[in-house]
Amino acid sequence: MRRVLLVEDSASTRAFVRTALASSPALGELEVVEAASGFDALRLLPRGPWDLVITDINMPDINGLEVISFIKKSEAHRDTPILIISTASSERDRERGLTLGASGYLVKPFTAQALVEQALEQLGSVPASGAHA
Amino acid sequence: MPDITDKARDEFFSEAQEIIETLSRNLLSLDAAQKAGKEDPSLINEAFRAVHTLKGLAGLFGAIRLGAFSHRLEDLLDDLRLGRLDLRPEVLDVLFATVDAYGRILQIEKDGRDDDLPSVDDLFRRLDRLGANVERGASPVGDYELDPGMLAVLTEYEEHRLRANIEQNLKLYRLRVQFDLSTIDKALDDMKERAKQHGEIITYLPTGEATGADAIELDLLLASRDDLATLIGSLGADNVVIEESPRRRRSVAPSASPQRGSVLGGSSPRAVDGFDRLADANALEAGPSLRSLTQTVRVDIRKLDHLMNIVGELSIVRSSLSRIAERLRGEGSRQLATELMRLHRNFDRRLGEMQDGILEVRMVPLGQVFDRLARVVRQISRDLGKEIRLVITGAETEIDKLIVEELSDPLMHMIRNAIDHGIESAERRAEVGKPLAGTIALNAFQKGNHVMLEVEDDGRGIDEVALVEKAVQSGKIGRHEASELVRDEVLALIFVPGLSTREQVDDLSGRGVGMDIVKTNINKLGGVIDVHSDTGIGTKMAITLPITLAIVSALLVRAHDQVFAIPLSTVSEALSFDPRSVRKVESREVITVRGSSLPICDLGKLLGLPVPLEDRRRRFVVVAALGNRRLGLVVDHLYGQEDIVIKPLGPSLSRVRGFAGATELGDQRVGLVLDSGAVIEEVLSGVEAPRERLSVLHG
């Protein structure tokens, strides 16, 4: 089973992302682990490996850019694809995220479909059955 | 696209509600900081983040109006936090107005309606006007010699704060701190708290340096006026290394390597002892579960009601168990009876624990409603041009969620009244030597099974003469009757419908809600209001409320062949009744209990029940007390105490006064639960026994 770390401080946004990811057969079965803050993300990250990190930018204390920077500095996780989810107004912050090494972004509000497409792009479609026993 | 389930939608609305409440709290803190002449940029940023999150959520869940409004407001807050707009009082006013607007918008979104909201449209225009002349786009901090690794992870806001601090000529420091992952929240909060004394933390950056699986190293960028030695003295520790960052303009040659300031001269920073021990002892197993970092769930209160009903039904099972055990014992199956009794005791204990657990979940701090009130106070004091100091104590006092919801309107009205009618104008206050700012105190505290809530002002007090005159003129009482009123009765006149000491109906207090409605609402919650007033000194309204409505301990009594439950929280004692000790004082029956007289009333007679044929020589007086009022209820028999779940009487009987509801008794019978507050009011206010209204019960 592939594992996604979702970093987002809004509970309903997390619920939305989780529902959306669970709805796509193409993505196969995913374990979505939720981090409600940048700290939670730092805490959870070592408990990887992760196949994808989805992160908000605008969060208190440890922001999304710092999460990205941390992932990119970490030996074990620097190759994990990172998808930014942020609002249109944080354009500049988003660009910084991409510069830091995030692999893609989605502008909030996004549709479930757009999210699934992006996740598919980052993760690839579900591996042939048996590959992940 | 997946269905956004009702559950996710509910979650969305409750999160939105919470965010709006956070926003409101932020604005209040901002207002307070502003008044104290202090500046706390993080407060504006938090308000911005709240609205920013709301906008994002609104988009995801298709709440168009909420989204559009948040979008406009976010722009304004963005201008404020990035220093493009000053936080003037009129800006703050608009911000406060948005909280109410949000409430309306959210309701409309929730109901799926599409009403016009002129007040919101108006607010849109005010927001537009404020944002009209703002120049956007500011110089980047690229001019400054800073660690590019650090600059790259600053959000636009953090960058702005950095620039603002540099422009004020503050020094920049880098604090390299090691935290244990399992305790980072608390450790960082401590650090933040201490660092705040010296300046502003601009950002936190994980360094990414390997420090072990359970530790993390963060760089904190701190802007401060203090010098390095001071900071090391105050913030230094084994796991903290402080360095000054160069912050010169690029044109100036870069400085040499920064001055190092490790405290104990230790070469490499290491985790402090406490952290080490914890890490060793618990290693990985004790780490937080991966799946649930968010430790709270939101639950519809109806689900808790349902659970509580089940507990109520289980307690009926419990009573039956005990009866069966008694019967077995009587029939000679002693051993079986003992076993069953043991089972019963165990069941009883666990059921008690379950009940306590459910009750605890329903409890919320009163602070929730106080926050809303603080906003109202601010609004009214501005509208009336009266300066008000709001003093809140006991915000942490807990009470049933359902009661909290019902409290905000009555309290709001009482506060309006206090500011409008109670607090004098500044000129008048100056004349009588009071501080110019009026004080409204909101006190909450627990007292046994009750929560006491006081709304106190230091205004002029209630004009008793005018109140009585008004009551006479409007025909509420006769002139002769008026002359015989004692003080408490005079003050109680403010609760008579249609009596307001003000001549004109004004926008503030005259919104069709009088103190009579306030009293009715409080009574509905099983509470009472008492008024105290000192002319020239102030008025105090004291509300006594039960802690919960879900379950109550009650005294079961019999009056004229009917079983009634009297909530134990309103019972102060029960005595043997001696008919010979009854005296008549002012057409009211009283007995003397320990030197003071107690009005009494025959419960069966009060309710108009037929007099039973049985022998009633031995009767009892149950002393019901609420606030400072006491009434002796004469009953025929005391059954004892039982925990009961109160069920509503149903729509056809809901308007009958005197009863809080009905409850199932152990033997499949139904008993009525007395609303002691209402009964005491009815009897003591001298209103004729509510016989007609109650006759429906046995008609």
| Contact criterion met (CB below 8 Å) for A30 and A2 | yes
Pairing of strands B215-224, B260-262: unpaired
Query: B12 to chain A nearest CA, in Å?
Result: 5
Q: How many CB pairs under 8 A join A and B?
A: 140
Determine which helix (DSSP H) or strand (DSSP E) holds A56, and give its type and residue range: strand A52-56
Query: Which residues of A are less than 8 Å from B106 in CB distance?
Result: none
Average pLDDT, integer, range A28-46: 85
Interface touch A96/B152, C-beta < 8 Å: yes
Interface touch A43/B8, C-beta < 8 Å: no
Q: What is the pLDDT of residues B285-329, one digit of tens each?
A: 333 344 434 456 777 778 888 888 888 778 778 878 888 888 888
H helices of B397-451, in order, are: 401-417, 426-431
| Contact criterion met (CB below 8 Å) for B172 and B150 | no
Calculate the alpha carbon distances from B25 to B33, B66, B372, B395, B414 in Å: 12, 19, 8, 13, 21
Average pLDDT, integer, range A79-101: 83
Helix axes B184-196, B228-235, angle to 10 degrees: 140
Determine which helix (DSSP H) or strand (DSSP E) holds B674, and give its type and residue range: strand B670-674
Closest residue in A to B291 (Cα–Cα): A33
Residues 6+ apart with CB under 8 A from B569: B448, B449, B450, B546, B552, B553
Interface touch A61/B206, C-beta < 8 Å: no
Tell me whether B5 touches chain A (CB under 8 Å): yes
Nearest CB to A66; choose among B5, B181, B206? B206
Closest residue in B to A97 (Cα–Cα): B153
Q: What is the pLDDT of residues B59-103, one digit of tens each?
A: 888 888 888 888 888 888 888 887 778 888 888 888 888 888 888
Stated pTM of the model: 0.52
Interface touch A42/B216, C-beta < 8 Å: yes
Q: Which of B95, B105, B5 is nearest to B47 (CA)?
A: B95
Task: Tell me the two tokens of residue B238.
Answer: 């084994």
| Contact criterion met (CB below 8 Å) for B153 and B192 | no
Residue B503 is predicted with a pLDDT of 42
Q: Does the structure show a pLDDT above 90 at A60?
A: no
Distance of alpha carbon B436 from alpha carbon B338, whole angstroms: 72
Question: Which residue in this structure is represented by tokens 């209040």?
Answer: B28
Q: In what order do the strands lie in the sheet with B571-577?
A: B571-577, B619-626, B629-635, B596-602, B588-593, B583-585
Show the CA angle centred on residue B217, arms to residues B211 and B221, nearest 5°.
160
Tell me whether B288 touches chain A (CB under 8 Å): yes
- Best mutation target, A4, A7, A12, to test chain B (most B CBs within 10 A): A12
Interface of A with B in 53-82 (CB under 8 A): 57-58, 60-63, 65-70, 72-75
Residue A133 is predicted with a pLDDT of 37
Query: B283 to chain A nearest CA, in Å?
Result: 13
Residue A89 is predicted with a pLDDT of 65
Tell me whether B55 touches chain A (CB under 8 Å): yes
Residues of chain B with confidence (pLDDT) below 70: 1-7, 132-149, 208-213, 246-296, 499-513, 550, 613-616, 651, 654-655, 666-668, 686-699
Instruction: For residue B20, count other CB atoms closer than 10 A to its CB.
Output: 22
Tell me whether A47 touches chain B (CB under 8 Å): yes
Closest residue in A to B43 (Cα–Cα): A60
Tell me whether B293 touches chain A (CB under 8 Å): yes
Interface touch B155/A58, C-beta < 8 Å: yes
Interface of B with A in 58-87 (CB under 8 A): 58-61, 67, 74-75, 78
Residue B261 is predicted with a pLDDT of 37
Task: Tell me the two tokens of residue B517.
Answer: 């409605």
Strands in B127-275 per DSSP E? 171-180, 199-206, 215-224, 240-245, 260-262
Residues 6+ apart with CB under 8 A from B273: none
Distance of alpha carbon B252 from alpha carbon B697, whole angstroms: 92
Nearest CB to B59; choose among A93, A109, A112? A109
Residues 6+ apart with CB under 8 A from B48: B74, B77, B78, B80, B81, B157
Residue B633 is predicted with a pLDDT of 93
Prediction ipTM score = 0.72
Query: A127 to chain B nearest CA, in Å?
Result: 22
Check whether the bond before B690 is cis (ω within 30° of 0): no
